[in-house]
């Protein structure tokens, strides 16, 4: 007879699906695990909550939280499970519930603080995020790259440009964290929103790594918001490659908005010659614990 599947067997497969980005499959396997009568452990909960966070499967995440309280007797989550639960609520948009979980965590580590700071900043609660970062420093917890990304995002949302630039400069010197492409992207977005396009362009030029689509897109979006076509053209010329479809769509739309339709058509033709296609829009909805994904595919996205 074949050996029965243990919780380790289930965890291995659920985690493998989650790491491969097959989050829906991970949740489906978790439901199958429940039907098989196998009791989940902390590793199961962390993997499942991570899948819920990536999919925005709030109902399933809430069910897991209730299961922890009801079946496992864990009224307050702690450690890696508490961090995963907090991260799930924050990424699913229920920030108040994430704060409640944070308040119930007795042993807060850098991951606890980082998840909460980034969650607050992402959902526009910038001042709370910055206040929590200050509390983190008072508690003697050294910030990591995620916490500092949350701080930069908070400064961006709050319009605190000088504070954001100071934190960017202090990352390596004060915290031993080298700024990554995502930190530079946030700073460029912050400067662009403030209308400081000269500073934003200078920061992109001074970056120790080549700008990616996010950084270029932030700068191009700021150029479009300010009607600075010449600067946008300069950004496009500096690309080491042909860029991605988003850059070209932004440039084409900018030309069209300024009445330069001939230039807009030429950008679209270049996209066709380079086989650059736009990614279809995608949305996810959870109904009765089942996650459904929808894609909007345009009939012809680059004509």
Per cent of the chain over pLDDT 90 is 53
Confidence of residue 301 (pLDDT cuts 50, 70, 90): very low
Three-class secondary structure assignment of the chain = CCCCCCHHHHHHHHHHHHHCCCHHHHHHHHHHHHHCCCCCCHHHHHHHHHHHHHHCCHHHHHHHHHHHHHCCCCCCCCHHHHHHHHHHHHHCCCHHHHHHHHHHCCCCCHHHHHHHHHHHHHCCCHHHHHHHHHHHHHCCCCCCHHHHHHHHHHHHHHCCHHHHHHHHHHHHHHHCCCCCHHHHHHHHHHHHHCCCHHHHHHHHHHCCCCCCHHHHHHHHHHHHHHCCHHHHHHHHHCCCCCCCHHHHHHHHHHHHHCCCHHHHHHHHHHHHHCCCCCCCEEEEEEECCEEEEEEECCCCCCC
pLDDT, greater one: 292 or 36: 36
Q: What is the mean pLDDT of residues 39-58?
A: 92
Residue 298 has pLDDT above 60, yes or no: no
Mean residue pLDDT of the chain comes to 84
pLDDT, greater one: 45 or 270: 45
Residue 119 has pLDDT above 90, yes or no: yes
Residue 261 has pLDDT above 70, yes or no: no
Q: What is the mean pLDDT of residues 184-210?
A: 92
pLDDT, greater one: 86 or 228: 86
pTM (whole model) above 0.85: no
Residue 36 has pLDDT above 60, yes or no: yes
């Amino acid at each position: 007879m074949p050996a029965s599947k243990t919780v380790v067997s289930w965890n291995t497969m659920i985690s493998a699906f989650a790491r491969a980005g097959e989050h829906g499959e991970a949740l489906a396997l978790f439901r199958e695990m429940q039907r098989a009568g196998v009791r989940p452990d902390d590793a199961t909960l962390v993997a499942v909550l991570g899948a819920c966070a990536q999919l925005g499967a709030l109902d399933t995440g809430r069910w897991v939280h209730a299961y922890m309280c009801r079946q496992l007797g864990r009224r307050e989550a702690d450690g890696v499970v508490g961090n995963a639960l907090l991260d799930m609520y924050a990424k699913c948009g229920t920030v108040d519930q994430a704060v409640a979980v944070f308040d119930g965590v007795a042993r807060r580590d850098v991951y606890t603080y980082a998840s909460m700071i980034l969650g607050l900043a992402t959902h526009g609660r910038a001042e709370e995020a910055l206040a929590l970062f200050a509390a983190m420093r008072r508690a003697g917890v050294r910030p990591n790259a995620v916490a500092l990304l949350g701080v930069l995002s908070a400064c961006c949302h709050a319009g605190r440009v000088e504070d954001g630039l100071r934190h960017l400069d202090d990352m390596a010197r004060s915290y031993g964290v080298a700024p990554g492409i995502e930190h530079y992207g946030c700073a460029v977005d912050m400067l662009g929103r403030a209308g400081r396009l000269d500073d934003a362009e200078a920061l992109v030029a001074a970056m120790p790594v080549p700008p990616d689509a996010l950084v270029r897109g932030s700068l191009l979006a700021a150029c479009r918001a300010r009607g600075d076509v010449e600067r946008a053209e300069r950004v496009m010329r500096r690309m080491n490659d042909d860029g991605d479809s988003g850059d070209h769509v932004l440039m084409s739309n900018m030309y069209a908005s300024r009445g330069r339709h001939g230039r807009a058509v030429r950008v679209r033709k270049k996209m066709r010659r380079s086989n650059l296609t736009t990614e279809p829009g995608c949305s996810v909805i959870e109904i009765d614990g089942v996650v459904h994904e929808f894609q909007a595919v345009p009939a012809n996205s680059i004509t």
